Structure 1
């Protein structure tokens, strides 16, 4: 790989991390709105038809309070430097990331998906998202236990791609709303699917690129 290509890749990585960091900061601001617990702010202002149900209250606040930690934990798990320098911290944070998704964030997201705005179209998307989120994360944990690190890496990419749907959904919603004249609910139905399918496609492209790179390195070592 030439020096110019390396520089371009480093620039892209830097921009991506900065963008992800900024969007994560915005998510923290959104989460703070629900501290202390309130039922009449932000998203909940349009969910008054279900917020009175205790199981929805538990699911919503469980999801909100844990998802932000999942997002931030995953943010640092992909740094090779941190993995090599602090392997035990990487392992501990990884277990916390996995546990939060499987036990709390994923199941609570599924319950919220059942009551998603936009009818069956959006509800199907968010419920499928939650199921895949838990599945990918379980698989990542399973392969880590077996020390099959390449498969572990693939499923962690997929898991975190779905974790990032919390950010991409809002980003896509803003982009569409500012460029296309569509009713708000139509936009919501679009981003309900685009918010995670686009992320998953990008994850698969990253996985495919890494597989090709490993093949090249393996062939070069022969």
Structure 2
């Protein structure tokens, strides 16, 4: 019985790694669209007003795009809680993850949220997401410094739930557009909230049930 449970856990862990690897590759391809700098590439095509009227917008945008891919990667490695034979690997990945979010990814995300497509509802959602992302990451850092590692782990999972919104937002967009063909602005309003709220609700459920 124990062996079956262990094998199931291993299976799901492998599935998780493969799934993350696939979606990480998709996110990497999106990131590479913005190398080299091109203010008319991909998403920026519909943000020309901001790009032209607000010179700082592109700085925040590229900061967010370029750091977020490393946040995804380092966060996943930190969440695995493995050193892979390298001294302090887990700890160092956690440091990279936390530093990039607190200094670069979350602040730039909050700024971009102010100019999000989809009207006021989308803007509110992305700004809230940015603040929650920053706060949960800071809380995880604070608890690690206090050596409260159980609570640190829980807050890291909360933080990573918000990090994964970069992936889940795009997943929901594909599903909604395929099934319902809504107006593009309506899509933004829906996925702005759907991209992160289920993530954090799932994590809170797992924490409540003591699975994390």
TM-score when normalising by structure 1: 0.90
Bigger-Rg structure (1/2): 1
1:124-175 superposed Cα distances (whole Å, 9 cap, x missing partner): 0000000000000000000000000011001100001101100000011001
Question: For the aligned residues, what is the CA RMSD?
Answer: 1.6
**Aligned twin of 1:54:** 55
Count of aligned pairs between the two proteins: 211
Where 1:82 maps in the other structure, the secondary structure is coil
**Aligned twin of 1:195:** 195
1:19-73 superposed Cα distances (whole Å, 9 cap, x missing partner): 1111111111000111110011111011111012111111100000101100110
**Aligned twin of 1:64:** 65
Residue ranges of structure 2 left out of the alignment (5+ in a row)? none
Q: Quick check: 1:19 aligned with 2:51?
A: no
1:198-218 superposed Cα distances (whole Å, 9 cap, x missing partner): 111121123223x268xxxxx
Matches within 5 A, 1:89-168: 89-168=89-168
Q: Which runs of 4+ in 1 moved over 3 A?
A: none
Residue ranges of structure 1 left out of the alignment (5+ in a row)? 214-222
1:83-108 superposed Cα distances (whole Å, 9 cap, x missing partner): 7x435222222111111111111110
Gap change, CA 1:64 and 1:99, over 3 Å in 2:
same
Distance 2:25 2:81 in 1: 23
Q: Quick check: 1:44 aligned with 2:44?
A: yes
Gap change, CA 1:212 and 1:200, over 3 Å in 2:
closer
